């Protein structure tokens, strides 16, 4: 029962989508109608302001970290703790408070990584920033649908997955498996929606 309570609380916290709230309050706009349509820090960074994009990202990271810290101090551990962290990501990606239109879940995943392995979180964040700066100047992307920032985020996420598979703790492995499943489901929906639009346009 305690785990169910924490999972529900984590999901609702994640559902309070920071990007959506900030953009409505600042600009009176729906962030899902701008840029790539994701209600996340990256889209706010591109479509509204770099400063507000960073602020949204830090808030999303903090929400997962805080929820994990609270749950751990109430006695949760292992797979139960991983489920709580993943619930924040699920709420961010599919927020019931905003018609299930959320972000990609990367910032929420970073928040969990920051809790379970702070050093790795800082390292991959620095790598993502450096790659973004480098690729912005060279015009490189890993896919034609990705810009430099999205490409760097994807590479950083892959690095985390490799590290987790080889050296991660049980909690970190469980958390990353769950977050990867959530993010993959979101990407599948995005690809499906894009295909539908292209077919409709053709």
- pLDDT over 80 (residue 131): yes
CA angle 88, 47, 138 (to 5 degrees): 100
Quick one: average pLDDT of 130-155? 71
Whether 3 and 80 have beta carbons less than 8 Å apart is answered as yes
Q: Which of 106, 187, 126, 120 is nearest to 160 (CA)?
A: 120
Question: Average pLDDT, stretch 186-199?
Answer: 59
The helix (H) or strand (E) run that includes residue 188 is helix 170-201
Q: What is the mean pLDDT of the chain?
A: 88
pLDDT(202) > 60: no
State pLDDT tens for residues 33-67: 999 899 999 999 999 999 999 999 999 999 999 99
What is the rounded distance in angstroms from the CA atom of residue 94 to the CA atom of residue 185? 10
Residues 6+ apart with CB under 8 A from 57: 41, 42, 45, 107
pLDDT digits (tens, 9 = 90+) for 62-116: 999 999 999 999 999 999 999 999 999 999 999 999 999 999 999 999 999 999 9
Total Cβ atoms within 10 A of residue 149: 21
Cβ atoms < 10 Å from Cβ of 128: 21
Q: What's residue 198's pLDDT?
A: 43
pLDDT attached to residue 197: 47
Task: Determine the 3-state secondary structure of 37 from DSSP.
Answer: coil
Per-residue pLDDT band at 146 (split at 50, 70, 90): low
Q: Where are the domains of the chain?
A: 2-201
Instruction: Please say whether the beta carbons of 19 and 56 come within 8 A.
Output: yes
CA 67/CA 133 separation, integer angstroms: 32
Range of 1-5, 123-127, 152-156 with top mean pLDDT: 123-127
Buried b (16+ CB within 10 A) or exposed e, 72-81: eeeebeeebb
What pLDDT score does 200 carry? 54
């Amino acid at each position: 029962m305690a785990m169910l309570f924490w999972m529900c609380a984590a999901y609702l916290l994640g559902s309070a989508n920071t990007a959506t709230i900030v953009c409505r309050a600042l600009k009176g706009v729906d962030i899902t109608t701008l840029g790539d349509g994701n209600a996340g820090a990256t889209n706010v960074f591109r479509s509204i302001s770099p400063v507000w994009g960073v602020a949204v990202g830090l808030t999303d990271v903090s929400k997962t970290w805080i929820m994990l810290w609270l749950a751990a101090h109430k006695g949760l551990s292992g797979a139960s703790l991983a489920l709580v962290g993943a619930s924040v990501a699920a709420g961010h990606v599919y927020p019931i408070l905003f018609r299930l239109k959320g972000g990609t879940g990367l910032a929420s995943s970073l928040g969990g990584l920051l809790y379970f392995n702070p050093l790795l979180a800082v390292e991959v964040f620095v790598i993502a920033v450096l790659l973004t700066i480098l690729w912005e100047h060279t015009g490189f992307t890993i896919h034609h649908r990705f810009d430099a920032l999205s490409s760097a985020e994807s590479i950083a996420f892959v690095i985390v997955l490799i590290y987790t598979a080889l050296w991660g703790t049980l909690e970190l492995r469980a958390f990353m498996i769950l977050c990867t499943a959530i993010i993959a489901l979101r990407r599948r929906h995005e690809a499906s929606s894009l295909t539908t639009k292209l077919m409709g346009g053709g």
